[in-house]
């Protein structure tokens, strides 16, 4: 039986596939993994992380817009121009001062300081006004933490960028971050808005220590802001976050610490992983590659500080999100989070800001009416399709396994790293600098002809398909094998775009809507034994090898470094499984995991003896801690008691009498 379907995410029940989260610590084949030093908690969007992103953005900006003396021109930097007000103070002003268009900048970015003007030393991140100087200052300010980022200086990451300036970072939500690098913020009338603009030259930039305590302790939704004379880190509990009423942490209190190369790499790599999962960390990234990577990152600005995704939601997203790239997709527009109400796409021209409003947009009613000319194009992406998924599976495989298989295939596709393409009236809009207006996409236009595409990342090949076996998945090995060889479909996942009108209640569709989590269809070992499918499974194995040639189009570029292995999906042990495990261990002891596996989990292909060993380990631990500290599906105390006694018993049986069924109880 061969399925060759077009899966329609969103409309057919499959939402954005909740794929196993890929750890930021670039998992890959051993060779590759080995090079990863330390792990990065990707859940911790640390300042560095952001900064690294910023750096990348800057790098892009710089190359894109600061072409020697070309700046004043009309071309490349509509953004910057739009943000720069008149009366440039700095020396060489690359751009012609223009009236700052408020519309292009939201309150969240500028705070109450409207009508501000940026001079050469300052800049507001986001593709906004950034002079060369500003750009150069940013990096170091950020990287302020490390005095000499080797990598950076070696020209790999931020070639030529150095200097110092003030940094103001507002991490409002995981996906909506405001980065503001400020040197001097000046009023339209020339007066400084910030009381104590840090003197870039005379004063050392605020150092954001690399101290781990800093990183790990800062929740994603924290925000750095300048308050008075110090930069504070505001814990944001989703409550107001304005003013200086929050518990503060004076960054200066952090001892500046030299950041090792390793550290930087770690951070950067995590970023790379997010966007280009297949990029080996040790791989030398060319400037071009860097740009490509960062190009995928867009900062999202919101109009109000209060608009932020809850931390929890973020967590969910991360948990369920497939890989970096996909995550990015979430972050950048396809997300179904109702809180992500404003997504700006590659443009900063107020007239061209494309925002996709979603459900909660209502809660953001605070947005003020667009000023004349400041039209927004509202879009709602209802679903996207994944064409050309090729799946082969025996007729007597279970529906559950089929779903899983499909899921895996999709995961493989999406996990490869995607970028968004825009198609308007049948034509692909390649010029990212074009405003929507210029592209013919305006608020009063019919969006019928507007579409998005998910394209394979220029970078590498998608990570090998995850192979999650399942007891029910009779032909598991086989199918998976097949799938493994299926290079990511020539993808062009089509983003079906539903026209302009956005429904306020835009379904917060569960992006997490996993197709029947089919969980625990896992046979309890007990059942498994009786439901002997083993024989069948073998008999069924013979499946016509499917032709994958047509799909094997994707050239295995950089295969060596890109063969990243996806982490196995997490499958919590059910009580019945625990029961079986306990029983087996009671009988076999704790040193014969293979036997335990064979005895109690022979049919659970996804449970390896290592898994069982690990589970036992955690069970023992669980049994020792207070019930309050336990998490997950509660395990009957009775079982835990047995775990302890069995563990105690077998711990003493130093010499584990081999096959000699020396059983404890039972």
Q: Which of 150, 363, 591, 662 binds DNA (CB under 7 A)?
A: 591
The stretch among 309-317, 359-367, 444-452, 584-592 that binds DNA (CB under 7 A) is 584-592
Q: Which of 90, 477, 609, 664 binds DNA (CB under 7 A)?
A: 609
CA gap 526, 557 in Å, rounded: 46
**Cα dist from 487 to 354, 390, 412, 457, 523, whole Å:** 33, 11, 8, 13, 31
**Cα dist from 422 to 345, 419, 434, 484, whole Å:** 10, 10, 12, 30
Q: Which of 96, 203, 617, 624 binds DNA (CB under 7 A)?
A: 617
Question: Which tokens belong to 660?
Answer: 């000699």
Q: Which of 178, 408, 579, 611 binds DNA (CB under 7 A)?
A: 611
Burial class (CB in 10 A: 0-12, 13-18, 19+), 348: buried
Q: How far is the CB of 620 from DNA (least distance, A)?
A: 11
CA gap 639, 583 in Å, rounded: 9
In the bound state with DNA, the residue whose beta carbon lies nearer, of 6 and 34, is 34
Q: Which of 237, 614, 633, 638 binds DNA (CB under 7 A)?
A: 614
Q: Which of 618, 630, 645, 662 binds DNA (CB under 7 A)?
A: 618
Identify whether the C-beta of residue 528 lies closer than 8 Å to the C-beta of residue 598.
Answer: no
Residue from 38, 16, 36, 51 nearest 166 by CA: 51
Q: How far is the CB of 614 from DNA (least distance, A)?
A: 4
Q: How far is the CB of 611 from DNA (least distance, A)?
A: 5
Binding mask 423-452 for DNA (x = CB under 7 A): ------------------------------
Q: Of 26-65, which residues contact DNA (CB under 7 A)? A: 27, 30, 33-34, 39
295 binds DNA (CB under 7 A): no
The stretch among 76-84, 131-139, 169-177, 585-593 that binds DNA (CB under 7 A) is 585-593
- Please report how many Cα atoms fall inside a 13 Å half-sphere around the Cα of residue 438, on the Cβ side: 14
Q: Tokens 């599906």 identify what position?
A: 633
Q: How far is the CB of 54 from DNA (least distance, A)?
A: 29
Q: How far is the CB of 41 from DNA (least distance, A)?
A: 12
Q: How far is the CB of 481 from DNA (least distance, A)?
A: 14
Sign of torsion over alpha carbons 524, 526, 530, 536: positive
Reduced to 3 states, what is the DSSP secondary structure of residue 428?
strand
In the bound state with DNA, the residue whose beta carbon lies nearer, of 274 and 607, is 607
In the bound state with DNA, the residue whose beta carbon lies nearer, of 535 and 655, is 655
**Residue 362 DSSP one-character state:** G
CA gap 300, 333 in Å, rounded: 9
The residues with which 497 forms a beta bridge, in sequence order, are 381
The residues with which 296 forms a beta bridge, in sequence order, are none
Q: How far is the CB of 663 from DNA (least distance, A)?
A: 16
Q: How far is the CB of 404 from DNA (least distance, A)?
A: 13
User: How many residues does this entry show for the chain?
Assistant: 666
Q: Of 524-583, which residues contact DNA (CB under 7 A)? A: 565, 567-571
**Cα dist from 658 to 154, 324, 649, 654, whole Å:** 58, 46, 16, 12
What is the binding site for DNA (CB under 7 A)? Answer: 27, 30, 33-34, 39, 565, 567-571, 590-595, 606-607, 609-611, 613-614, 617-618
């Amino acid at each position: 039986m061969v399925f060759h379907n077009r899966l329609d995410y969103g409309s057919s029940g499959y939402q954005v596939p909740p794929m196993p989260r890929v750890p930021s610590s670039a998992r890959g084949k051993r060779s590759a993994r080995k090079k990863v030093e330390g792990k990065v908690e990707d859940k911790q969007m640390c300042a560095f992380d952001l900064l690294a992103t910023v750096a990348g953005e800057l790098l892009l900006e710089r190359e894109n817009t600061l072409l020697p003396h070309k700046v004043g021109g009309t071309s490349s930097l509509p953004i910057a121009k739009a943000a720069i007000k008149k009366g440039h103070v700095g020396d060489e002003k690359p751009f012609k001062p223009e009236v700052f268009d408020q519309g292009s900048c939201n309150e969240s970015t500028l705070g109450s300081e409207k009508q501000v003007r940026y001079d050469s030393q300052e800049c507001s991140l986001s593709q906004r006004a950034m002079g060369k100087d500003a750009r150069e200052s940013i990096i170091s300010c950020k990287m302020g933490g490390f005095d000499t980022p080797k990598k950076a200086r070696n020209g790999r990451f931020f070639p030529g960028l150095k200097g110092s300036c003030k940094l103001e970072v507002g991490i409002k939500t995981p996906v909506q971050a405001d980065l503001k690098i400020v040197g001097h913020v000046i009023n339209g009338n020339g007066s400084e808005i910030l009381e104590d603009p840090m003197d870039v030259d005379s004063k050392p930039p605020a150092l954001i220590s690399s101290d781990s305590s800093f990183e790990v302790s800062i929740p994603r939704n924290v925000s750095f802001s300048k308050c008075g004379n110090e930069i504070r880190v505001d814990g944001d509990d989703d409550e107001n976050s304005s003013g200086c009423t929050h518990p503060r942490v004076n960054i200066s209190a952090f001892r500046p610490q030299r950041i090792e190369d390793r550290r930087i790499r770690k951070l950067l790599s995590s970023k790379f992983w997010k966007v280009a999962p297949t990029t080996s960390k040790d791989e030398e990234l060319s400037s071009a590659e860097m740009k490509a990577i960062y190009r995928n990152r867009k900062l999202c600005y919101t109009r109000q500080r209060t608009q932020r995704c809850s931390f929890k939601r973020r967590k969910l997203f991360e948990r369920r999100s497939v890989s970096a790239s996909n995550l990015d997709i979430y972050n950048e527009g396809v997300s179904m989070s109702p809180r992500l109400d404003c997504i700006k796409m590659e443009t900063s021209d107020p007239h061209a800001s494309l925002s996709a409003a979603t459900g909660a947009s209502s809660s953001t009613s605070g947005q003020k009416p667009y000023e004349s000319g400041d039209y927004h194009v509202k879009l709602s992406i209802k679903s996207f399709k994944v064409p050309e998924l090729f799946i082969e599976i025996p007729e007597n495989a279970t529906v559950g396994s089929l779903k899983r298989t499909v899921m895996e295939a999709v995961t493989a596709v999406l996990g490869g790293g995607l970028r968004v393409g825009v198609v308007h009236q049948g034509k692909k809009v390649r010029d990212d600098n074009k405003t929507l207006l210029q592209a013919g996409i305006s608020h009063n236009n019919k969006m019928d002809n507007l579409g998005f595409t998910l394209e394979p990342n220029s970078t590498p090949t998608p990570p090998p398909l995850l192979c999650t076996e399942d007891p029910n998945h009779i032909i598991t090995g086989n199918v998976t094998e097949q799938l493994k060889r299926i290079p990511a479909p020539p993808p062009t996942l089509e983003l079906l775009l539903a026209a302009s009108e956005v429904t306020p209640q835009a379904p917060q569709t569960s992006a997490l809507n996993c197709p029947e989590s089919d969980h625990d269809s896992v046979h309890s070992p007990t059942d498994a034994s009786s439901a002997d499918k083993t024989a069948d499974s073998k008999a069924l194995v013979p499946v016509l090898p499917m032709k994958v040639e047509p799909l094997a189009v994707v050239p295995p570029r950089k295969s060596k470094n890109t063969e990243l292995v996806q982490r196995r999906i997490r499958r919590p042990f059910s009580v019945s499984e625990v029961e079986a495990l306990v029983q087996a261990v009671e009988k076999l002891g704790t040193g014969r995991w293979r036997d335990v596996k064979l005895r109690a989990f022979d049919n659970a292909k996804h449970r390896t003896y290592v898994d069982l060993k690990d589970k036992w380990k955690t069970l023992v631990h669980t049994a020792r801690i207070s019930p309050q500290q336990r998490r997950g599906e509660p395990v009957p105390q009775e079982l835990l008691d047995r775990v302890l006694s069995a563990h105690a018993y077998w711990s003493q049986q130093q010499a584990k009498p081999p096959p000699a069924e020396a059983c404890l109880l039972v």
